[in-house]
Chains A and B, each alone.
Chain A
Amino acid sequence: MTTDLYGLFLEPFIEFSFMQRALWGCLVLSLSATPIGVFLTLRKMSLTGDAMAHAILPGAAIGFLVAGVSITAMTIGGVIAGCIVAVLAGVVARHTNAEEDSSLAAFYLLSLASGVLIISAKGSNMDLLHVLFGSVLALNNDALILLTSIATVSLVSLAILYRPLVFECVDPAFFRSVSKLSSVAHFSFLLLVVLNLVAGFHALGTLMAVGLMILPAAVARFWTEKLGTMIVIAFVTSVISSYFGLFLSYHASFATSPAIVLVMGCIYIVSLLIGKRGGLLTHH
């Protein structure tokens, strides 16, 4: 019986180094992406996150075009493209009559289409699948170092920006009256979002990267009203989902990143139904 359980739950992660690498990648990604996701949802910017995730694609695709499947080239391309779209979306929203969400949708369709076009013109279908759904089971050392570095930078920046970010969300008018850091906080935050999306892109692919940010944060809001607790719950949700996603992927041969996101999705639906704060069935 014990050996059965061992074989089922632990063996894949002990026997195979690609499973260990995948788990490590997901863990560090959860550590940095979930707090960012919590702030993203609290600022009602989930859609912005989604659009930026897609915006990374053409940049990464150009990196791919220049240097083939190179982590460095695709990362640099992705970060640049993500930043450009983040700034453009802000500018368009400020200076035209278009609503921010429609301009975001326009940008994200454009980026997705051009990214897929570039990759399919030069690469194989396999490359395209990698870019869209990631390659969490094939993370090499470079990728793991990148994910861990991004997680470190994100956590340190978040620790420094925590109070400014909180007040930029709650009471921006007051924040501007006591500090000139308002736009610094805003743009550093967007940069962190882009960095984490690029990290997510390497592991989960452009279509699923944002899942690790938004879904755990959405789950956490159903269980607590405290910001700190919210971040912890989001992290735990993400770790559990990553583990069971990999588990399902290993035993049932499911595609990995959709499996991880779907486990999160199940937790989300359960929270939506019976969550302590505003769950459908617990709501009085």
Chain B
Amino acid sequence: MINIIDLSVNYKDSRALDGVSTKIKKGDLVAVVGANGAGKSTLLKSIMGQLKPSFGHVDLGQLSPKDIAYLPQSHQIDRKFPITVREFVSAGAWRRTGFWRVFSQTEKVLLQQALSKVNLIGVEERQISALSGGQFQRMLFARMLMQDAEILLLDEPFAAIDAQTTMDLMDVIHDCQTQGKTIITVIHDLALVNRFFPKVILLAKKLIGSGETKLIMTGENLSKAGYQHIAYIPEPTPSIIKIETQVDPNIQLNIKQPLKSSEICSNPEHYEENVS
């Protein structure tokens, strides 16, 4: 059980998270949803103990940050660095092997299993720079599986990958859930959240709501989280949409000018890129 108690985190002078309290039970599959700058990544980093809260704390119960596997946003990774898929995925075993030891037979088996679960058998010796976007994301999942941790934190695992890969990787997530792992995923695609994630944490620096997805993802809550345009527009019909620029003053979205009709789309990720 992860118990987040009145958590506030500051970045330099600005507040990234403000008094967030929620509980995540063991074995839960939770989506963290919110606009850019809503504190989603900050929440994950606080759970890992990488950021010091300015107030409140995160209680991992009997577990420690060592029981956490983290899947970072793919844009933070230097994809041109000369390293093979095998070497990259092997890093998942570091908690067990340290930086210097040679891999045992067990680790080699685990590596093969991780690669086969994400369908990457046969590309082990390729450089990561040669992978497609989907393959790259599969590789990140393989490394996370290799970590074999109790808590999985995923930061935007489905950004910019195709539907098939998303479905395959959702299967991997479900597998992990049936093994009793606790999974917390930052995710932008609201349709995916509604379809696959039983629980949700909705953030806009403050906690808008957390609990069962059906109960939390209401139009009212989404609008509080800065999603009002998307929540009511499933398909864009550019000629008649007039975008409001008024936003809840508590939510610091930087909307400088109304979106052009060509910029409106149903993918919330793209939406956020436009407003930020």
Contact = CB atoms under 8 A, between A and B. Distances in A.
Interface string A25-63: 000000000000000001000000000000000000000
Q: Among the interface residues A169, A174, A176, which one has the most CB atoms of the partner chain B within 10 A?
A: A174
Given A42-B78, A225-B82, 5 more contacts: A42-B81, A163-B99, A169-B81, A170-B81, A179-B99
12 contacts: A163-B91, A164-B99, A166-B81, A170-B77, A171-B78, A173-B73, A173-B77, A174-B71, A178-B94, A179-B94, A225-B129, A226-B82
A172 B129 CA distance: 17
B50 A42 contact: no
Q: How large is the interface on A (under 10, 10 to 19, 20 to 34, 35 or more residues)?
A: 20 to 34
A227 B83 CA distance: 7
A178 B153 CA distance: 13
Nearest to A174: B72
Contact of A173 (B72, B84, B87, B127): B72
Nearest to A167: B91
Contacts of A163: 91, 94, 99-100
B52 to A, nearest CB: 14
A160 interface: yes
Contacts of A181: 99
Interface string B78-108: 1001111001100100110001100000000
Interface residues of B, number: 27
A226 B128 CA distance: 11
A214 B129 CA distance: 22
B77 A177 contact: no
Interface of B: 48, 50, 68-73, 76-78, 81-84, 87-88, 91, 94-95, 99-100, 127-129, 143, 147
B70 A177 contact: yes
A166 B90 CA distance: 13
Nearest to A94: B12
- For the complex of A and B, the 8 pairs showing the least CB-CB separation, nearest first, are A173-B72, A177-B70, A163-B99, A170-B81, A227-B82, A171-B77, A225-B127, A173-B76
B50 A176 contact: yes
